[in-house]
């Protein structure tokens, strides 16, 4: 038995590392002593990609506030399995989905059995303060949280190890986890410390959450997380042949346009300096700046010079600049390949499935995020990337999305009579707005003028949800500031309650804590210099919580086995071909609800055998 000690918040705590079967008796005593307690759990693995080749769990750690047990998986797998299987036992981990899926993947504990008995200190921390360190919050990592809630001197559990990876193993942050000697003292120490910190975090955050009346929300979030983690475990199938072909096509496109750019002296299309120089050399003049004040050569600038609109069709307003055209096309092809298509291929498991990492509670507003690969942000104006994701054998992909959910939430919360009428009317919201603003003039307008007005007020509505103003609207849409100002003023006059609601939120924050409290009871801190974001925070967060609640409802109805991915206001899933339509509509019925008297409606659509079919792809 190796025994290390460490100081945590002034206490000397032991870290035990059993080497023989006989050493395990102390571990059993530890478990008996903590029979009625929630015990902290953590794993050390070979790398971050749970579903990648050669993934392994090397250590399993168990701990209380007073001690840690670091158990080798290669020697004591049976004991770990038996320990985790104990039905009455409750556990806590920091970022539980990772450890749950890791032990599930290697057969140490089935997700369905361990998942419901696992608490997550990440969830509690997010409810206490959702901000990252860079935003003035505590941060949501184990280390920064421990420094705030447990011990200001808390060791960074990773930084020291990275130094060892580099100096002793010539390895990186990524590769060192698989290479470091399993009994390296620093590895054991850090493995053990993590569970002690986690146990103490649970104690501190538990008191805080209970004291602030957030226990119900915490329970809800654990339910939601279980459902999204189950989706991650299920994953989605990749059409490998199609995606390989797509990667090849994108590579050819990229090369073709890079060659054009090179003819004009742009050797590297990703170099903003080269692109700027080339365009200036051709006599182009523009004034759009980046955040740091440099001339911007982003998509908006380049598309304009290439005489293309946002749908990449010709404006016929000027001669297209061939460099701008080539650069913007080469960059798009490269982005689509590396971030999406190639990522599908690189991240797939042995069964050609990808398992995107789903954070059920991510943004300050509690919005979810998806990464590895980032499936919430695949191009939607073109079906080519989404075509690479296919339904399981005999299944059809469907989607149910809330219609205008943020506008319905803002209508309910502000109580603005016109907005309430608008969402109740069932009429297209932007047309309704345009009509309301135009008054009697609407009847005299041509269809083209009506469409233009609708588009304008669609932009205004989006801007309002984001807390934007006339200047932003002008920038987004290309109209003059005066036109934009007139439109936003008209909007405010049409829906005075929305503006008043924003002011009310800010006033309350000004004289209380700098936060908004959402209808679901979530406390969202505001930045003092961006108080105008208050409305957006409440609306975005409430819309997220409506979707999260829908996930729980679907789970309660036994429908969650067919869910694939949450996308903010949409749930993607699959169902057997024969009853996909019926299934999607059942999902729609469960998702639909009433929020403070306002009907929250959803639309169901059956796509077909691949995701792209919802976006124009053939079967």
Partner DNA sequence: AGGCTCGGCCAC
Partner DNA sequence: AAACGTGGCCGAGCCT
Within positions 379 to 418, which residues make up the interface with DNA, using CB under 7 A?
Answer: 379-381
Name the DSSP class of 153.
T
Residue ranges in 122-151 that form contacts with DNA under rule CB under 7 A: 132
Other Cβ atoms closer than 10 A to 217? 21
- Kindly state the smallest distance separating residue 74's Cβ from DNA, in Å: 27
Residue 343 half-sphere exposure toward CB, CA atoms < 13 A: 18
Phi, psi dihedrals of residue 233, rounded to the nearest 5°: -65, -45
The 568-587 contact track toward DNA, x by CB under 7 A, reads xxx-----------------
Residue ranges in 272-291 that form contacts with DNA under rule CB under 7 A: 272-274, 290-291
Q: Which of 277, 320, 345, 369 binds DNA (CB under 7 A)?
A: 369
- Kindly state the smallest distance separating residue 437's Cβ from DNA, in Å: 17
- Kindly state the smallest distance separating residue 416's Cβ from DNA, in Å: 17
Residue 531 contacts DNA per CB under 7 A: yes
CA distance 573 to 395: 10
Q: Where are the alpha helices (DSSP H) in 348-416?
A: 405-414
- Kindly state the smallest distance separating residue 538's Cβ from DNA, in Å: 11
Q: Which of 162, 169, 442, 520 binds DNA (CB under 7 A)?
A: 162
Please identify, using beta-carbon distances, which residue of 75 and 549 lies nearer to DNA.
549
Angle CA(265)–CA(271)–CA(274) in degrees, nearest 5? Answer: 35
Question: Taking contact as CB under 7 A, which single stretch among the options 227-235, 355-363, 431-439, 550-558 is the one that binds DNA?
Answer: 355-363
Nearest to 104 by CA among 61, 64, 55: 55
Please identify, using beta-carbon distances, which residue of 64 and 225 lies nearer to DNA.
225
Residue ranges in 171-210 that form contacts with DNA under rule CB under 7 A: 172-173
Nearest to 400 by CA among 557, 556, 579, 581: 581
Residue 268 contacts DNA per CB under 7 A: yes
The 77-116 contact track toward DNA, x by CB under 7 A, reads ----------------------------------------
CA distance 352 to 246: 16
Please identify, using beta-carbon distances, which residue of 113 and 346 lies nearer to DNA.
346
CB burial of residue 283 (10 Å; 0-12, 13-18, 19+): exposed
Please identify, using beta-carbon distances, which residue of 196 and 343 lies nearer to DNA.
343
CA distance 227 to 563: 9
> For helices 447-466 and 481-494, what crossing angle results, to 10°?
80
Residue 508 contacts DNA per CB under 7 A: no
Residue ranges in 413-472 that form contacts with DNA under rule CB under 7 A: 459, 462-463, 466-472
Residue 485 half-sphere exposure toward CB, CA atoms < 13 A: 4
- Kindly state the smallest distance separating residue 320's Cβ from DNA, in Å: 16
Q: Which of 475, 523, 549, 585 binds DNA (CB under 7 A)?
A: 475
- Kindly state the smallest distance separating residue 104's Cβ from DNA, in Å: 21
- Kindly state the smallest distance separating residue 268's Cβ from DNA, in Å: 5
| Residue 68, H or E segment | strand 68-72
The 3-state DSSP class for residue 131 equals coil
Question: How many positions of this chain bind DNA (CB under 7 A)?
Answer: 74
Residue ranges in 543-572 that form contacts with DNA under rule CB under 7 A: 567-570
The owner of tokens 């807390």 is 467
Residue 579 C-alpha from the chain's centroid: 30
Q: Which of 280, 294, 510, 594 binds DNA (CB under 7 A)?
A: 294
């Amino acid at each position: 038995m190796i025994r290390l000690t460490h100081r945590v918040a002034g206490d000397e705590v032991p870290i035990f590392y059993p080497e023989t079967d006989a050493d395990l008796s102390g571990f059993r005593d530890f478990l008996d002593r903590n029979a009625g307690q929630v015990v902290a759990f953590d794993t050390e693995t070979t790398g971050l990609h749970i579903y990648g080749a050669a993934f392994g769990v090397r250590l399993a750690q168990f701990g209380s506030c007073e001690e840690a047990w670091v158990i080798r998986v290669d020697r004591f797998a049976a004991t770990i399995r038996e320990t985790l299987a104990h039905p009455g036992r409750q556990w806590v981990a920091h970022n539980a989905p990772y450890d749950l899926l890791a032990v599930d993947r290697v057969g140490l504990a089935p997700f369905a059995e361990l998942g419901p008995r696992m608490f997550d200190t990440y969830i509690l921390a997010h409810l206490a303060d959702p901000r990252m360190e860079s935003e003035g919050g505590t941060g949501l990592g184990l280390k920064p949280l421990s420094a705030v809630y447990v011990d200001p001197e808390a060791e960074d559990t990773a930084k020291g190890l990275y130094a060892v990876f580099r100096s002793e193993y010539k390895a990186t942050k990524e590769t060192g986890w698989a290479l470091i000697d399993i009994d390296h003292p620093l590895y054991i120490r850090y493995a053990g410390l993590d569970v002690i910190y986690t146990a103490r975090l649970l104690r501190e955050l538990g008191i805080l959450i209970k004291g602030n009346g957030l226990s119900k929300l915490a329970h809800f979030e654990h339910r939601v997380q279980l459902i999204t983690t189950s989706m991650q475990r299920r994953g989605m199938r990749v059409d490998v042949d199609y995606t390989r072909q797509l990667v090849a096509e994108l590579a050819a496109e990229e090369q073709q346009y890079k060659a054009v750019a090179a003819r004009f002296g742009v050797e590297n299309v990703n170099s903003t300096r080269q692109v700027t120089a080339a365009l200036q050399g051709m006599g182009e003049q523009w004034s759009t700046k980046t955040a740091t004040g440099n001339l911007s050569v982003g998509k908006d600038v380049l598309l304009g010079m290439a005489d293309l609109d946002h749908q990449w069709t010709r404006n016929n307003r000027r001669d297209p600049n061939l460099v701008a055209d080539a650069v913007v096309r080469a960059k798009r092809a490269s982005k689509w390949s590396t971030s999406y298509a190639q990522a599908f291929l690189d991240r797939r498991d042995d069964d050609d499935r990808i398992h995107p990492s789903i954070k059920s509670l991510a943004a300050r507003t509690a919005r979810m995020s998806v990464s590895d690969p980032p499936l919430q942000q695949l191009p939607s104006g073109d079906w080519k990337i989404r075509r690479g994701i296919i339904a399981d054998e005999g299944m059809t992909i469907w989607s149910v999305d809330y219609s205008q959910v943020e506008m319905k939430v803002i209508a309910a919360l502000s109580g603005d009579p016109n907005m309430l009428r608008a969402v109740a009317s069932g009429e297209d919201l932007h047309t309704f707005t345009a009509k309301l603003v135009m008054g009697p003039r609407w009847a005299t307008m041509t269809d083209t003028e009506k469409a233009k007005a609708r588009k304008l007020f669609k932009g205004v509505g989006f801007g309002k949800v984001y807390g934007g103003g006339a200047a932003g609207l002008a920038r987004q849409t290309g109209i003059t500031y005066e036109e934009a100002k007139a439109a936003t003023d008209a909007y405010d006059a049409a829906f005075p309650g929305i503006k008043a609601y924003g002011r009310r939120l800010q006033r309350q924050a000004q004289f209380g804590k700098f936060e908004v409290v959402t209808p679901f009871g979530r406390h969202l801190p505001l930045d003092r210099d961006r108080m105008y974001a208050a409305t957006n925070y409440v609306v975005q967060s409430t819309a997220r919580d409506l979707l999260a609640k829908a996930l729980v409802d679907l789970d309660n109805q036994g429908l969650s086995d067919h869910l694939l991915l949450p996308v903010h206001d949409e749930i993607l899933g699959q169902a057997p071909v024969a009853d996909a339509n019926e299934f999607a509509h059942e999902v729609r019925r469960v998702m639909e609800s009433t929020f403070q008297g306002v009907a929250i409606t959803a639309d169901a659509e059956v796509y077909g055998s691949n995701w792209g079919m919802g976006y124009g792809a053939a079967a």
